[in-house]
Amino acid sequence: MDQASSLREMVKGRGASSVRRRTLKASSTRVISITSGKGGVGKTNIVANLAMAFAGKGKRVLIFDADMGLANVDIVFGIHPRYHVGHVISGEKELSEVIATASEGVDVIPAASGDTAFADLTEGQKLSLMAEFEGLDNLYDIMLIDTAAGISSNVIYFNSAAEECIVVVTGEPTSVTDAYGMIKVMFLNGTKHFKLLVNMARGIQEAKAVYATLSQAADRFLKGVVLEFLGYIPFDDHLRQAVVGRSPVVKQYPGACSSKSIIKLADQILKSPPSTSGTGNISFFMDRLISGNNP
């Protein structure tokens, strides 16, 4: 039975009367947002491929597509989900009906279309959304959030609500400047720790140079910020071909250089769990997201 169908089983029979806030329990689901200042830096592809790499290591992964404008996790996987999280918010569908299976071990919550402001929901919508998401902590080991680019309030809410935040950047000066802008806004919003991932790099030197530029600026202007170098993914034509083929590169071309570095990255992430365990699960995430009560 896949995760989506286990969830369907679990929520079967649960009526609107059970929709109420319950005590939040800590569990082991890691919630990681993947974000950037500038668009087109590779977030969606990194999310899809990291998810595949985690699943390859036996992890159960849920992708939350939070890019309302350019929702394209489904395109990278070549799936055509019928419903999205907006249907859950409107009460038309249960979350279990909306979650789509993208690949073995990888499920997706498709993005709501338009401008759904998670912090602007009615109390009733917030409670039912909390209740819908409540069971997920038992079903997934990792939730990856694919955010939109930029510093819109929705993106900041998603990033601040997640326990871990990976900022994707390329060597392009505009991408570096926008990454700094994103880190600054998040920092002023209360996030202290960021993991920097350089994508489409020509090598470790370029990646380290990008990191040095950002960490120097951050050290100077954002006192107390921690910017961790997570590594880099090389520029790789195979990754582009995989997008055309509608299946993640780690699946289509496992031997490609981008695939190898993503698999290595997945190992590295699994080996370094967050230090603030206990508040990192999906229930806490949703609570922070919809209350705007960020850390």
User: What residue ranges bind ligand ADP (CB under 6 A)?
Assistant: 36, 39-45, 199-200, 233, 235-236, 239-240, 243, 258
**Of 39 and 91, CB closest to ligand ADP:** 39
Rounded Cα–Cα distance for residues 196 and 35 (Å): 10
| Residue 39 interface partner, choices ligand ADP, Mg ion, none, CB cut-off 5-8 Å depending on type | ligand ADP
Q: How far is the CB of 35 from ligand ADP (least distance, A)?
A: 9
**Of 138 and 252, CB closest to ligand ADP:** 252
Rounded Cα–Cα distance for residues 249 and 237 (Å): 10
**Of 43 and 60, CB closest to Mg ion:** 43
Q: How far is the CB of 114 from ligand ADP (least distance, A)?
A: 18
H or E segment and range at residue 228: strand 226-234
Residue 199 lies near Mg ion (rule: CB under 5 A): no
**Of 7 and 200, CB closest to ligand ADP:** 200
Among 33, 36, 44, 147, the residue binding Mg ion under the rule CB under 5 A is 44
| Residue 45 interface partner, choices Mg ion, ligand ADP, none, CB cut-off 5-8 Å depending on type | ligand ADP
Give the closest residue to 163 by CA, choosing from 31, 27, 26: 31
Residue 156 in contact with residue 43, Cβ under 8 Å? no
Token pair for residue 193? Answer: 């720790």
Give the closest residue to 196 by CA, choosing from 228, 155, 234, 164: 228
Residue 147 lies near Mg ion (rule: CB under 5 A): no
At 204, the amino acid letter reads I
H or E segment and range at residue 200: strand 193-201
**Of 163 and 236, CB closest to ligand ADP:** 236
**Of 235 and 285, CB closest to ligand ADP:** 235
| Residue 258 interface partner, choices Mg ion, ligand ADP, none, CB cut-off 5-8 Å depending on type | ligand ADP
Residue 49 lies near Mg ion (rule: CB under 5 A): no
Residue 153 in contact with residue 119, Cβ under 8 Å? yes
What is 89-149 written as a DSSP string?
HTTSS-HHHH-EEEETTEEEEPPPSS---GGG--HHHHHHHHHHHHGGGGT-SEEEEEEPS
* Span near Mg ion by CB under 5 A; candidates 43-51, 124-132, 224-232, 270-278: 43-51
| Residue 236 interface partner, choices ligand ADP, Mg ion, none, CB cut-off 5-8 Å depending on type | ligand ADP
Give the closest residue to 195 by CA, choosing from 162, 167, 163: 167
Residue number of the CB atom closest to ligand ADP: 42
Residues that bind Mg ion (CB under 5 A): 43-44
